[in-house]
């Protein structure tokens, strides 16, 4: 069942089944990540439990730490397998105020990284907001000690939407599941299309 989740102070999106939201608050994130790990290994054989849980929790904690540095309040992550196959997919939403061109460049670089491997770059309109959509695919940085002939690719889908004269809503999707990256990009676009303003309560009295 789809669920609505608040992405920012005034915005919500619909997340499909299988996605979880982990807060970046250090006092809450570790317990939330442990809960996700426990949920994912509940149907595995005993000899698979430790390795699978460690991998899931390490990946999520790395995503949470990066999102915290970007100023995001949470990481939305796909944790349920698709047709029995583990899939990596995440969404980080950040609100920024960037009054100058230099601050915009610096802010976007901090959240989205560099422009290596850009495949698509276009103007869009989402929920009445004008913005940019960028898709890129580039080699991942692998840990030290990884065999030289091993490689992994990471696909990013980035949205920059103007919510005010100097205010922006940034959505950064990422996946390292390269064989189905195209299908996941379609999913990411579909999630973004559900973006909508939260209802403003009517003042009483």
Residues 6 or more apart whose CB falls under 8 angstroms from that of 197 comprise 10, 11, 12, 127
The ranges assigned to domains in the chain are 3-197
What's the pLDDT score for residue 148? 61
Three-state DSSP at 186 gives helix
Model confidence pLDDT, tens digit, residues 131-160: 999 999 988 776 565 556 666 788 999 999
pTM greater than 0.95 (yes/no):
no
Contacts 24+ apart (CB under 8 A), 140-147: 140/176
Instruction: Quickly list H helices, the chain.
Output: 26-40, 46-70, 101-112, 181-192
Instruction: Please tell me the total number of residues recorded for the chain in this structure.
Output: 205
What's the pLDDT score for residue 157? 95
Model confidence pLDDT, tens digit, residues 15-30: 998 888 888 888 888 8
Domain 3-197 has CATH 3.40.1000.10: yes
Name the nearest CA neighbour of 168 among 129, 196, 199, 140.
129
Three-state DSSP at 165 gives coil
**pLDDT under 50: residue ranges of the chain:** 201-205
* No. of helices (H) and no. of strands (E), the chain: 4, 10
What's the pLDDT score for residue 202? 41
What's the pLDDT score for residue 205? 41
């Amino acid at each position: 069942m789809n669920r609505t989740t608040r992405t920012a102070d005034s915005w919500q999106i619909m997340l499909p089944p299988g996605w979880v939201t982990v807060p970046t608050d250090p006092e809450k994130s570790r317990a939330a990540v442990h809960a996700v790990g426990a949920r994912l290994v509940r149907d595995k054989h005993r000899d698979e439990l430790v390795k699978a849980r460690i991998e899931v929790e390490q990946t999520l904690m790395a995503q949470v730490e990066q999102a915290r540095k970007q100023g995001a309040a949470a990481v939305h992550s796909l944790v349920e397998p698709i047709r029995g196959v583990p899939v990596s997919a995440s969404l980080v939403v950040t609100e920024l105020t960037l009054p100058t061109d230099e601050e915009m460049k610096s802010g976007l670089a901090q959240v989205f990284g560099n422009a290596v491997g850009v495949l698509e770059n276009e103007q869009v309109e989402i929920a009445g907001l004008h913005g940019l959509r960028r898709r890129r695919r580039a080699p991942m940085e692998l840990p030290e000690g990884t065999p030289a002939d091993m490689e992994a690719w990471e696909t990013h889908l980035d949205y920059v939407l103007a919510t005010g004269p100097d205010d922006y809503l940034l959505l950064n999707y990422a996946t390292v599941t390269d064989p189905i990256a195209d299908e996941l990009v379609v999913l990411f676009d579909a999630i973004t299309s559900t973006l909508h303003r939260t209802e403003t309560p009517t003042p009483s009295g």
